[in-house]
Amino acid sequence: MNDMTVSLIVAVSENGVIGRAGGLPWRLSSDLKTFRRLTMDKPIVMGRKTFQSIGKPLDGRDNIVVTRDPTFEAPGISTCESVADALTLARVLAKTRGAEEIMVIGGAEVYERAFSVADRIYLTRVHAEVEGDRHFAPLDAAEWRETSREALPQGPKDDHASTLFVYDRQKQDA
């Protein structure tokens, strides 16, 4: 089959919110450091709005932006018209780079499209209930197994404490 791990990386509030008005509904320096550590030297797949909210390509990673706008371009990124095409390109770039994992970093629509092929989810649970307009569905315990968790204590640049959970997709018996 495929030896490349496809992972979603997402921060989710206690009430399932992942975004508000095109951005993150919190300031979490600790989570951003964790995000950088987990995505460094790997291809990252994101939607155009997520890319525009970040404002620039993320260094040390192959930035792949999914957009339906064939004229959209920016320095330092590759564009694809579908998540499937982005994952295909990410596999090639990962092999070139020697990475064994592709990171899907959002937003909501890209997560939805990549969910069925994801092998792992890095889910930072933000210990707060926040207002927002983008959500991440709860994980089905029959499909996903928690393999680790790491507390991310609230630092001076964090609005909330959080916990990083890693979930792996359960292997289905053939």
In this prediction, residue 3 carries a pLDDT of 77
In a domain, 33, yes or no: yes
Q: In 14-161, where do the E strands start and end?
A: 17-19, 43-47, 62-66, 77-80, 101-106, 120-126, 134-135, 144-152
CB 82 within 8 A of CB 108: no
Residues 98, 43: contact at Cβ < 8 Å?
A: no
Per-residue pLDDT of the chain (174 residues; tens, 9 = 90+): 457 999 999 999 999 999 999 889 999 999 999 999 999 999 999 999 999 999 999 999 999 999 999 999 999 999 999 999 999 999 999 999 999 999 999 999 999 999 999 999 999 999 999 999 999 999 999 999 999 999 998 999 999 999 999 999 998 755
Q: Is 17 helix (H, G, I), strand (E, B) or coil?
A: strand
Instruction: Judge whether 65 lies within some domain.
Output: yes
Query: Domain residues for 58?
Result: 5-169
Any domain includes 26: yes
Closest CA to 83 of 50, 46, 119: 46
Measured torsion, CA atoms of residues 33, 34, 40, 46, in degrees rounded to the nearest 10: -100
Kindly state the helix (H) or strand (E) to which residue 50 belongs, with its residue range.
helix 48-54
Tell me if 174 is assigned to some domain: no
**pLDDT on residue 2:** 56
Q: How far apart are CA 120 and CA 37, in angstroms?
A: 16
CATH (domain of 112): 3.40.430.10
Q: How many CB atoms lie within 10 A of CB 130?
A: 18
Instruction: Please state the domain count of the chain.
Output: 1
